[in-house]
């Protein structure tokens, strides 16, 4: 399997797509052609790492990673991703809980897989000329997951940029508690400023070569593929139990998670509808409604990890489709205001005594808003992207109860922190590289 840029250009091996992050022409890497996967090939796959291995095999065929792929899957999918039944009337509602990893958000999956994949690629590189620098812009959760995944990994250092004051206190803790090969910079600006700085660094060939820059953002194909694997696992479980496809409602920011679900369905997994839940950053719902792609500055919301005004992975989704009508066949989208996020967190706690994070609340709200016929006609899974305890300062005052901290997160919160503040200027970033 080889990979091409969404903007054309020559195909490359997956090792190069992973280490390069974005293609030289600024496009995003996608498989040259999507494989077709026969569901029977999963018959012997019993657990999540096995299903992930079966799912990922064709994407890594012929690469240096195909041999170690089983080990990679065991290392990355080392925590459970349960599909928890929530309701049976008026229709089946389940929750896909993606938050049982070390930093309590779904980004642990992609970050861990990518870190292990890069480590192998670097170790196999005979021309190895010093450490690679993984440069990441984060709206909160990516940076923590990447820092945790790469911390003390040989051959790599990590520089994380996050918007100062725009991440939750516990997110900030996860970004700034590592040291060793991890540097975290609090940028005076928004997520989009952080992303702009990272893009500018990558666009500079001198910087890129001198620091051997690599990306670990959700644009990296090495993060998207393992994310598609958990949709494969969840939809297969549901299919084996019921003979019915599962439809997903995905909290969406940069569209990495939602797009991974589209890939899983495209290669043949039993997935029904895919609905993207956004916050007040409505670039995607507006595009689907009007046909006009109008990226814009992001606005801050309670679901801050989804504060993205220019969702990068839309380029991949549009690349799969001939026109906006075809995009509408793949996904629909609905925005959710902060006020509705708040009432949803409260209502869902009253209903089930369960606390959900603000991101997950967007998807739950979208589910509640579906026409009753649509809720009962299909089986639905709301995707829970982070643990509520990570957003305690938002969730606890709404509920008037404290949310128990999962042990992995508690361990991280024990670590001391250190942070550096910088202006949103490329020179300041360079000084820290």
Structure tokens belonging to residue 386: 């982070």
Distance CA(2)–CA(10), nearest Å, equals: 10
Binders of ligand PLP among 33-52, rule CB under 6 A?
A: none
Our finding on whether 258 is near ligand PLP (CB under 6 A) is yes
Our finding on whether 251 is near ligand PLP (CB under 6 A) is yes
Closest CB 314 distance from ligand PLP, rounded Å: 10
User: Is the CB of 255 or the CB of 288 nearer to ligand PLP?
Assistant: 255
In three-state secondary structure terms, 295 is: coil
Our finding on whether 255 is near ligand PLP (CB under 6 A) is yes
* Stretch binding ligand PLP (CB under 6 A), from 9-17, 79-87, 115-123, 255-263: 255-263
Distance CA(398)–CA(343), nearest Å, equals: 9
Question: Quick check: is 199 catalytic?
Answer: no
Our finding on whether 359 is near ligand PLP (CB under 6 A) is yes
Structure tokens belonging to residue 371: 């026409």
Closest CB 238 distance from ligand PLP, rounded Å: 22
Closest CB 68 distance from ligand PLP, rounded Å: 26
Ordered DSSP codes for 345-374: HHHHHHHHS----HHHHHHHHHHHHS-HHH
Our finding on whether 285 is near ligand PLP (CB under 6 A) is no
Among 20, 49, 143, 256, binds ligand PLP (CB under 6 A): 256
**113 and 226 Cβ atoms separated by less than 8 Å:** yes
Distance CA(294)–CA(208), nearest Å, equals: 29
Binders of ligand PLP among 381-400, rule CB under 6 A?
A: 385-386
**386 and 405 Cβ atoms separated by less than 8 Å:** no
Number of residues that bind ligand PLP (CB under 6 A): 17
Closest CB 359 distance from ligand PLP, rounded Å: 3
Dihedral angle computed from the Cα positions of residues 83, 88, 93 and 99, in that order, rounded to the nearest 10 degrees: -40
Closest CB 386 distance from ligand PLP, rounded Å: 3
In three-state secondary structure terms, 7 is: coil
Our finding on whether 105 is near ligand PLP (CB under 6 A) is yes
Our finding on whether 228 is near ligand PLP (CB under 6 A) is no
H helix runs in 246-389, sequence order: 256-266, 283-290, 314-319, 324-330, 338-352, 358-369, 372-377
Distance CA(20)–CA(12), nearest Å, equals: 10
Distance CA(338)–CA(400), nearest Å, equals: 18
Element (H, E) at 261: helix 256-266
User: Is the CB of 247 or the CB of 362 nearer to ligand PLP?
Assistant: 362
* Stretch binding ligand PLP (CB under 6 A), from 69-77, 79-87, 249-257, 285-293: 249-257
User: Is the CB of 118 or the CB of 305 nearer to ligand PLP?
Assistant: 305
User: Is the CB of 177 or the CB of 260 nearer to ligand PLP?
Assistant: 260
Strand partners, 249: 275, 382
User: Is the CB of 274 or the CB of 306 nearer to ligand PLP?
Assistant: 306
Among 156, 257, 279, 281, binds ligand PLP (CB under 6 A): 257
**219 and 28 Cβ atoms separated by less than 8 Å:** yes
Neighbour order of strands in the sheet with 8-12:
8-12, 3-5, 29-31
Our finding on whether 213 is near ligand PLP (CB under 6 A) is no
Closest CB 128 distance from ligand PLP, rounded Å: 31
Closest CB 189 distance from ligand PLP, rounded Å: 18
Among 54, 94, 100, 107, binds ligand PLP (CB under 6 A): 107
User: Is the CB of 197 or the CB of 388 nearer to ligand PLP?
Assistant: 388
Distance CA(390)–CA(413), nearest Å, equals: 10
Distance CA(287)–CA(285), nearest Å, equals: 5
* Stretch binding ligand PLP (CB under 6 A), from 78-86, 150-158, 251-259, 344-352: 251-259
In three-state secondary structure terms, 137 is: strand
Closest CB 130 distance from ligand PLP, rounded Å: 31
Our finding on whether 365 is near ligand PLP (CB under 6 A) is no
Distance CA(410)–CA(392), nearest Å, equals: 13
One of 54, 107, 199, 390 is an active-site residue; which one?
Answer: 107
Our finding on whether 305 is near ligand PLP (CB under 6 A) is yes
* Stretch binding ligand PLP (CB under 6 A), from 128-136, 187-195, 256-264, 392-400: 256-264
CA-CA distances (angstroms) from residue 300 to 166, 187, 304, 305? 8, 15, 6, 10
Q: Which burial class, exposed, middle or buried, applies to 148 when counting CB atoms under 10 A from its CB (0-12, 13-18, 19+)?
A: buried
Binding site for ligand PLP (CB under 6 A): 105, 107, 141, 218, 251-258, 305-306, 359, 385-386
For the annotated catalytic residues, the residue numbers are: 107
């Amino acid at each position: 399997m080889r990979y091409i840029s969404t903007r054309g250009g020559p195909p490359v091996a997956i090792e190069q797509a992973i280490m390069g992050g974005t293609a030289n022409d600024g496009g995003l890497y996608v498989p040259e052609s999507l494989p077709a996967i026969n569901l029977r090939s999963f018959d012997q796959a019993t657990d999540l790492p096995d299903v992930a291995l079966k799912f990922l095999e064709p994407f890594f065929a012929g690469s240096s990673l195909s041999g170690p792929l089983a080990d990679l899957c065991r290392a990355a999918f080392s925590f459970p991703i349960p599909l928890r039944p929530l309701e049976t009337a008026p229709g089946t509602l389940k929750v896909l809980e993606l938050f049982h990893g070390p930093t309590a958000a779904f980004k642990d999956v992609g970050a861990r897989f990518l870190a292990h994949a890069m480590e192998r690629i670097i170790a196999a590189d005979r021309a190895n000329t010093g450490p690679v620098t993984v440069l990441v812009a984060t709206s909160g959760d990516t940076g923590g997951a990447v820092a945790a995944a790469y911390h003390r990994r040989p051959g790599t250092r990590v520089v994380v940029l996050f918007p100062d004051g725009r991440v939750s206190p516990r997110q900030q803790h996860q970004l700034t508690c590592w040291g060793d090969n991890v540097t975290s910079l609090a940028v005076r600006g928004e997520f989009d400023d952080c992303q702009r700085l990272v893009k500018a660094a990558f666009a500079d060939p001198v910087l890129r070569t001198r620091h051997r820059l690599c990306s670990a953002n959700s644009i990296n194909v090495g993060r998207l593929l393992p994310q598609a694997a958990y949709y494969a696992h969840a939809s297969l479980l549901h299919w084996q139990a019921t003979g019915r496809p599962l439809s997903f409602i995905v909290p969406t920011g940069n569209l990495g998670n939602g797009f991974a679900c589209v890939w899983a369905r495209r290669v043949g997994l039993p997935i029904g509808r895919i609905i993207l839940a956004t916050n007040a950053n409505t670039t995607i719902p507006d595009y689907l409604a009007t046909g006009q792609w109008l990226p814009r500055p992001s606005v801050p919301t309670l679901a801050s990890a989804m504060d993205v005004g220019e969702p990068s992975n839309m380029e991949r989704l549009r690349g799969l489709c001939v026109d906006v009508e075809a995009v509408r066949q793949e996904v629909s989208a609905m925005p959710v205001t902060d006020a509705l996020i708040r009432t949803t967190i409260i209502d869902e706690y009253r209903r089930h005594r369960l606390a959900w994070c603000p991101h997950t609340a967007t998807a739950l709200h979208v589910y509640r808003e579906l026409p009753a016929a649509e809720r009962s006609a299909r089986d639905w899974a709301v995707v829970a992207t982070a643990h509520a305890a990570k957003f305690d300062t938002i969730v606890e005052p709404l509920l008037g109860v404290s949310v128990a901290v999962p042990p992995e997160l508690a361990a991280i919160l024990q670590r001391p922190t250190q942070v550096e503040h910088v202006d949103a200027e490329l020179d300041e970033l360079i000084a820290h590289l």
